[in-house]
Amino acid sequence: MSFFARPHYTSDTTDFIRQLKQDKPQLDAQQQQGRGLLWDKDVDAGVWQDYRAGKVAQKAYVYYSYTPAGKRTSPM
């Protein structure tokens, strides 16, 4: 047995969740239904392909615009 092991110990959070699931057995179904509203969506592959094709390549460091030496312009 490990020195750090605490047999038969459950945290307050674990006890709370177990009690909540006992009191509300419909909770899991409600969570799945709520997840379906925002996350579980059918993906249209054609739309994603068009989206990726229209992407513009980003420069390595977007906050600095490189101009060759001798052609620098003053920001003022």
Give 28's contacts (C-beta < 8 A, 6+ positions apart): 21
What stretches of 5-76 show up as alpha helix (H) in DSSP?
12-23, 27-38, 45-53
Specify the pLDDT at position 61.
74
Give 70's contacts (C-beta < 8 A, 6+ positions apart): none
pLDDT tens string for the chain (76 positions)? Answer: 577 777 788 899 999 999 999 999 999 999 999 988 888 788 889 998 998 998 888 777 767 766 666 665 555 5
Q: How far from the centroid of its chain's Cα atoms is residue 38's Cα?
A: 13
Domain boundaries, the chain: 12-53
Tokens of 30: 């409600």
Cβ–Cβ < 8 Å for 26, 32? no
